[in-house]
Amino acid sequence: MKNYIRLFLILGLAFSPLLTLTPSSIHADAPAPPSQQIIVKTRPPLPGELAGAVTLDSILIDCDVQSTTPLFDLSMGDVALKRALGLANVYLVTLAPATDVQKTLDTLAADPAVEYAEPNYVGYGAVLPDDQYFSFQWNLNNTGQSGGTPGADIDAPAAWALTLGDPVTIIAVIDTGADLDHPDLAANLVDGYDFVNDDDEPDDDHEPGHGTHVAGIAAAVTDNGIGMAGVCPNCRVMPLKALNSDNAGFYSDWIDAIEYAVDHGASIINMSLGGTGNSSALHEAVRYAYVAGVPIVASMMNEGDDALFYPAAYTETIAVGATNRYDERWASSNYGDHVDLVAPGSEIYSLRTNDTYFMMHGTSMAAPHVAGVLGLIEALRPGFGVEELRYVLRSTAEDQVGPPNEDKKGWDPYFGAGRLNAALALQAVIPPASVAIEGPAEGFTGQTHTFVAAVDPITVAQPITYVWRATGHAPVTRTGGLSDTLLLAWDAPGAHSVTLAISNFGGAITSAHAITLALPTELTVCPGGGCDFETIQPAVDLLSEGGLIKVATGVYTGVNDRGRLAQAVYVSKTLTIRGGYTDAFTEPPDPQANPTSIDAQGAGRAIYVAGAVSVTVEGLHVTGGDAATLGGGLGGGDVGGGIYAQNANVALRHNRVFGNTARRGGGVYLWESSAAVADNVFSANAARWGAGLYLVASDATLTGNTVVANVSELDGGGLYLDASVAVLHQNTITANQAGGWGGGLYLSGSPAELQSNTIANNSAERHGGGLYLDASDAVLTNNVVVDNQTAGEGGGVYVKQASPRLLHTSIARNLGNSGVYVTGGAVALTNTILVGHTTGITATASDTVTLEATLWGAGDWANGTDYASDGSITVGARNVWGDPAFTAPDAGDYHIAFTSAAINAGIDAGVTTDIDGDVRPVGAGYDLGADENASGAAAVRMSVSAEASFVEAGAPLTYTIRVTNTGDVDLHVVVSDAPPEQVAPTAPQVWTFTLPASGDGWVETRVVTVAAGYTGPLTYTAHVTSAEGAMDTASAVVWAAEHTVHVDPEEGGLLVASGDDGATVTVEIPPGAVSEAVQLTFASLPEVVDPPAAFSFAGQAFALEVYTGGLLQGGVVFHNPVTLTIEYVAADVEGLDEDTLTLRYRNGETWAEDGITVVQRDVDKHRLVTHIEHLTEFALFAQAPQDERYTIYLPLVQR
């Protein structure tokens, strides 16, 4: 603020403890000490004068001036308005102490460059004290409780029924300051200023607190259980101290305070003060507020005559006189031609400094009543100008309530327009009665829409009757308060209307609202509510064609009957169902972190797609489907346990389809459909044909999928393609089983293209452990067919009456009578690695088989016989017998090292990339098999593996990093890793070393601990770079789960040893368990023990290996009921009877027992199949000769 030098004329204060004064003793004409401050306004330049020719310095050149300061602040507020009013030319001038003030004023008044020069007048607050205590406020509601006249009040309670004000309304109180900590005021204060002491702490240092008393009348806090109520209890007070502790102050401070209030957002200014000096500068400040639309309420002062006091005497202010409890003019209240109205001012109870209360008299008390009512009006009808507010106050004041000799009809100089009535003033500004319906203008069918009656609380008295009407709905009538809500939903799209009529004793008011509904294009589903639906089927039914359903993490169960079919989700329109969201739907979907399951629980299919529609399923777990006895499919139905589609366009992306059962297509069945199937996992599904996927007469592209641990009773353990056109690219087909033909893949009459796939570790009991081609002229490029097995022919590939082409194929270590078997076909194999078989390739006499550029193996990788036929096999000139030098075949890595005999041994077969997408050829020629080694250059390969697919939260976990130099130069490498953030330690490690071109490579383990309580994916990544430019990256994903089945008695887990001799081991499978592939070896078990739920074996060196099928790759959650299949292979079955191996299991609460039937087959495999409704525990019992070894495959299904 401005740094003034202030000299005060101290007037006697009526409430001073040193003086005892009467009203007549406080008079503006009383002598005052001289002040050396004057206010000067220079005039604008006269016509013909240059702008700036007249300056303040030139005017004051002959005056003895100590300092000059602009009186108005042109750095803030409405600067344009201030300049327009000439306020930029007003200055506060401080003269030297010995200067004659009056002589200086006379000199300046005669100067034509001066518009005016005047003293810095002193004024005071308009108050008289009263020590009498009253416990009530007659001024707000007078019932005659204190001997007064009932109704002689401002009728505040009736006004408060309409509004208590608004905190955005600020009443600036220009006075002695305020008690900033008073409990009845502090909560309603905003920042103010002290113009007396020039600081921002406007504390009230007057005793007993004139400014505090005035502020309390205007806006003391209410409903706080203490003290009293202000007229506008929800308004805020801006305390502006312009009177000193003696209740006196300079006009210059009043001017500053007015300007500050306007510039800082005050809505109303109260000035319970006055002075007799008619100051032009003060008048200009009042006009600034007036033009800015900020009313100034000023007290008439307390002389009991018609003397003029300022600012009340200015026409721009609202001048207020005072009345008593009898509606009489208070005797000391001034009167005159400028009074606007009167308000209670005698014996007014309000706040006192030091957190107390007391009574005071004066027009100072009357003015804040009016300021408070203006605050109530502002809350009800903001935006009125000063003259509009003056009109409201005068037109609603109660006339002729006082003595007839003074309070005459209409305006008079004693009462003005009458005594203030707050209720009448507010009723006069009430807007026209209205009610509106708040609700959406657009929406979707089937959704609930909310409509709220928006009743203006001041327009309608309660109670209110609401009558709602809406198209397609019966009327709803209710009686209530100021709000009512209606919830509506429509099934039909189009335009709908909602109407509302409200009524009370004042009549009826109506309103209408229109809403247009469409079928929704996007819906959300979450299991706990808070979104559009809690289950998926209603969302499918409601969604518009081509829409999207977002599904939050959770398990969605239950089936519905549609067309005599049972399924969890029935789809007959084009749409997308996408899982992996959180309940908030604010983040992109993450199926790994937010698993989302559709579980049919064996009661029907999981998803049924009917008709010629386009359906996309993304990020879902599809499980529990059972198509047994269901129709809707080719050949009598019971097909497609997980997902069934006919005549449709289907896209499957990032799903896990597991634990489903059907006659055909346990996981997926597509009939005469087009499909794009990418990045899915199909596991632990069961069927007679095509356990993972079955396609008939369909056109499909399968990319990046994992088909693992599916079991077919007959053919196509992983996939079965029947008369379909398919492209299979970069899929992994592994650990699937077929009781007949085609353990991994069965193609029947399907001209498929197989590119860069891995077909490994599959088995078929009849023929074609990896791949069975029946009348299918397929083209296979860059595929790896390894470690498959069959009891018959074609451990890797079986070809029957087909003419396929195999380009750059790695066929290795498949068990069976032959790696490749051809009967009735014409097969061309180019650039092939064919190693590690009993017989590499066998063909019958009628076949035509040609091999160009073949690696036949040597040493451990030699075939027993390379090829066998009756002259039907033609072997080209480019044959190699040598070591394929696979990188890490036992770990499933069939890339070739730079020492491989396959390097540069091939011919140009028109294939320009290898299984990894790397360019062919590198070096002098094409490499044989699926991989192109970077021979002759720096090359490196990295693999990362984990000890388990699943791990318990809080448990340790070991990752293994393997780096192999696949080039022919030594490498200077740097290996770094990035553990997942949910393990400890999380800090990366770095290894630097030299990796020779020859050798076994580099292996390192990293042991971490999973965070307690964490469930979800754990992705560990490692990266290798070399100074020679070679690099590679690999990662492994392990799932952390609440329960995992670790079958390892040495480490405990859920497999708990019991019995002193350690011969009994119990496996408990908790609900929701996630199992993993495990291996258990028992040794030194001295005797047979036979408790329930136990493995028991005899023999000192008996070994048992247990596998949970479907858990070999990535793990899977199983469900009840289950068809439990147990198979085992005995190296020597001599002396093994049918009853020597027994399964015991708990079916619900009872124990059951089945023997495993020994069936003599080529590889001595034995099987038990039994159906269990509710598997909770299981046990195996074996009687076996010493040193005999058995392997048991156990596909365990448990929810």
Q: Which positions are catalytic? A: 175, 210, 364
Q: How far apart are CA 214 and CA 219, in angstroms?
A: 9
Q: Specify the DSSP class assigned to residue 360.
A: E
Q: Which is it for strands 725-729 and 699-703: parallel, antiparallel or unpaired?
A: parallel
Cα-based angle 1176, 1178, 1181 (whole degrees, multiple of 5): 170
CA-CA distance, 734 to 1102, in Å (whole number)?
29
The DSSP call for residue 859 is: G
Neighbours of 1140 (CB within 10 A): 18
DSSP codes, 30-90: S------EEEEEEPPPPTTSPTTSS-HHHHTTTS-EEEEEESS-TTSS-HHHHHHTTGGGE
CB hemisphere CA count around 679 (13 angstroms):
8
Give the Cβ contact number of residue 200 at 10 Å. Answer: 10
What is the DSSP-derived secondary structure letter of residue 181? T
Which one, of 399, 394, 395, 393, lies nearest residue 377 by Cα? 393
Beta carbons of 798 and 821 less than 8 angstroms apart: yes
Contacts of 456 (CB under 8 A, 6+ apart): 431, 433, 434, 435
Q: Assess contact for 130 and 321: CB atoms under 8 A.
A: no
Burial 371-384 (b: 16+ CB within 10 A, else e): bbbbbbbbbbbeeb
Distance CA 278, CA 270 (A): 19
Dihedral angle computed from the Cα positions of residues 757, 763, 768 and 770, in that order, rounded to the nearest 10 degrees: 10
* Phi, psi dihedrals of residue 364, rounded to the nearest 5°: -60, -35
- Count of other CB atoms within 10 angstroms of residue 1123: 14
- Yes or no: say if 165 and 426 are a contact pair by the CB < 8 Å rule: no
Q: What's the CA gap between 703 and 683, in Å, rounded?
A: 16
Q: What's the gap between Cα 407 and its chain centre? A: 68
Helix (H) or strand (E) holding 288: helix 280-291
1047: which 2 tokens?
């079958």
What contacts 50, CB < 8 A, 6 or more positions away?
none
Tokens at 145, concatenated: 């409780």
Q: Report the 10 Å Cβ neighbour count for 546.
A: 12
Q: In whole angstroms, give the CA distance from residue 46 to residue 29.
A: 37
CA distance 759 to 754: 11
Measured distance CA(362)–CA(211) in Å, rounded: 13
Q: Output the DSSP codes for 87-113.
A: GGGEEEEEE-TTS-HHHHHHHHHT-TT
Residue with tokens 């002689």, as numbered in its chain = 152
Could you give the CA distance from residue 641 to residue 662 in angstroms, rounded to a whole number?
A: 5
CA–CA separation, 314 and 287 (whole Å): 9
